[in-house]
């Protein structure tokens, strides 16, 4: 009786492992943690979970990655259970600076992997909404739908991300375009792909939060936003992580078309037209081989039947 209970449990665990493809059992917490392989080489960012591959503009310099997990535990109660609330959150930063080491533009990738209970609270950094949204909507990239938001921001980087910029000057105002998508069990894992540029020159002395609002934009600011959008597309290239071959026609027979039915009756499904033509040709050939018709008659009738296709 005991074996009957254990075997299904073991099978369930192995099924979960095969489903994720990259799990590890944590002895300290007693849970299966999602593990992921990530790499950056020649400005090509690759991640196995959430699965994504991005080629950044080669003019950008990769400054490194940081774990921003300590930001996540803020506000949790004293009875925090790692089996219920556990995260991995990482940032990857690419920037371009001017001769004065001032950040002119760049890309920030934030990755959140949620372990344990999928209903747990998602960290604020991955859910916060900027109050100065200029544009918002959805974009289809490859086979995924991304939410995008365009907004100006003064305090964009969290402290650990800013530490990567310790040798650079961060502008007082950035224009940001954020692409975000949910992933994993319960959609609690997240990917943020963020393109940003120095907007302080475009804003001048006006407030960063309102200077690029659509109602107040000058002709120069409108041009800046248009060119910013073009540069955002050119600076990040999404690369297909896997190719899916459509073999439906090789595994699935064509659905027969319904034949006209008398009024009040359901449509009658019969053999497809191609099947009927094939049977008629076979019958015609048998008649010819029995010398019941001439070759001229055979060829003429064969042409008529094929023309029906």
Same domain, 7 and 91: no
CA distance 40 to 34: 20
CA distance 297 to 182: 67
Same domain, 26 and 49: no
Q: What is the mean pLDDT of residues 89-114?
A: 96
DSSP assignments along 202-227, one per residue: HHTTS-TTTTT-GGG--HHHHHHHHH
Same domain, 68 and 105: yes
Q: Answer with the residue of higher pLDDT: 276 or 189.
A: 189
- Tell me, yes or no, whether 296 lies in a domain: yes
Q: How confident is the model at residue 231 (pLDDT cuts 50, 70, 90)?
A: very high
DSSP state of 187: G
Q: Is the peptide bond before 50 cis (omega within 30 degrees of 0)?
A: yes
Rounded (5°) CA angle 150-156-158 = 140
Write out pLDDT tens, residues 155-165. Answer: 899 999 999 99
Q: What is the mean pLDDT of residues 42-64?
A: 96
Same domain, 71 and 144: yes
Same domain, 167 and 64: yes
- Tell me, yes or no, whether 233 lies in a domain: yes
Q: What pLDDT score does 263 carry?
A: 63
Nearest to 59 by CA among 91, 93, 94: 94
Instruction: Name the one residue in this structure whose structure tokens are 């969290």.
Output: 158
pLDDT-above-70 percentage for the chain: 75
- Tell me, yes or no, whether 60 lies in a domain: yes
Q: Which of 29-43, 67-81, 251-265 has the highest mean pLDDT?
A: 29-43
- Tell me, yes or no, whether 252 lies in a domain: no
Same domain, 94 and 222: yes
Half-sphere exposure of 174 (CA within 13 A, CB side): 24
Query: Over 90: is that where the pLDDT of 33 sits?
Result: no
Same domain, 49 and 25: no
In 3-state terms, what secondary structure has residue 86? strand
- Tell me, yes or no, whether 248 lies in a domain: no
Q: 22 near 49, Cβ under 8 Å?
A: yes
Half-sphere exposure of 38 (CA within 13 A, CB side): 24
- Tell me, yes or no, whether 302 lies in a domain: yes
Would you call 111 exposed, middle or buried from its count of C-beta atoms within 10 A (0-12, 13-18, 19+)?
buried
Specify whether the backbone of 24 is left (phi greater than 0), alpha (psi in -120 to 50) or beta.
beta
Q: What is the mean pLDDT of residues 284-288?
A: 84
- Tell me, yes or no, whether 263 lies in a domain: yes
Q: Which residue range forms the structural domain that includes residue 14?
A: 1-32
In 3-state terms, what secondary structure has residue 127? coil
Same domain, 191 and 234: yes
Number of domains in the chain: 3
Q: What pLDDT score does 59 carry?
A: 96
Query: Over 80: is that where the pLDDT of 78 sits?
Result: no
- Average pLDDT of every residue of the chain: 81
Write out pLDDT tens, residues 134-150. Answer: 999 999 999 899 999 99
Same domain, 193 and 296: no
Biggest CA–CA distance in the chain, Å, is 98
Same domain, 76 and 45: yes
Neighbours of 279 (CB within 10 A): 11
pTM over 0.85: no
Same domain, 288 and 192: no
CA distance 236 to 56: 5
Question: Of 83-92, 194-203, 260-269, 289-298, where does mean pLDDT reach its minimum?
Answer: 260-269
Same domain, 50 and 24: no
Q: What pLDDT score does 260 carry?
A: 62
- Tell me, yes or no, whether 193 lies in a domain: yes
Query: Over 90: is that where the pLDDT of 294 sits?
Result: no
Question: Of 163-167, 245-249, 268-272, where does mean pLDDT reach its minimum?
Answer: 268-272
């Amino acid at each position: 009786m005991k074996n009957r209970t254990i075997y299904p449990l073991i099978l369930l665990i192995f099924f979960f492992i095969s489903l994720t493809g990259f799990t590890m059992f944590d002895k300290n917490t007693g849970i299966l943690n999602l593990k992921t392989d990530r790499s950056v080489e020649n400005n090509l960012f690759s991640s196995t979970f959430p699965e994504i591959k991005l080629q950044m503009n080669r003019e950008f310099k990769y400054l490194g990655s940081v774990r921003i997990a300590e930001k996540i535990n803020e506000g949790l109660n004293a009875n925090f259970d790692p089996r219920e609330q556990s995260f991995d959150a990482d940032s990857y930063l690419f920037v371009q600076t001017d001769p004065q080491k001032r950040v002119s533009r760049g890309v920030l990738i934030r990755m959140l992997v949620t372990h344990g209970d999928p209903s747990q609270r998602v960290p604020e950094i991955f859910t916060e909404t900027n109050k100065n949204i200029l544009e918002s909507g959805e974009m289809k990239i490859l086979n995924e739908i991304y939410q995008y938001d365009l907004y100006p921001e003064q305090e964009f980087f969290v402290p650990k991300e800013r530490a990567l910029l310790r040798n650079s000057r961060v502008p007082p105002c950035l224009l940001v375009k954020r692409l975000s998508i949910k992933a994993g069990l319960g959609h609690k894992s997240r990917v943020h792909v963020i393109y940003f540029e120095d907007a302080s020159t475009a804003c001048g002395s006006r407030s960063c939060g309102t200077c690029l609002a659509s109602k107040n934009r000058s002709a120069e600011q409108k041009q800046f936003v248009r060119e910013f959008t073009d540069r955002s597309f050119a600076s990040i290239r999404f690369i297909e992580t896997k190719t899916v071959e459509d073999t439906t026609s090789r595994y699935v027979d064509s659905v027969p078309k319904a034949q006209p039915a008398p009024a009040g009756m359901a449509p009658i499904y019969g053999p497809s037209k191609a099947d009927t033509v094939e049977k008629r040709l076979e019958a015609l050939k048998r008649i010819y081989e029995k010398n019941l018709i001439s070759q001229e008659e055979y060829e003429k009738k064969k042409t008529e039947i094929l023309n029906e296709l």
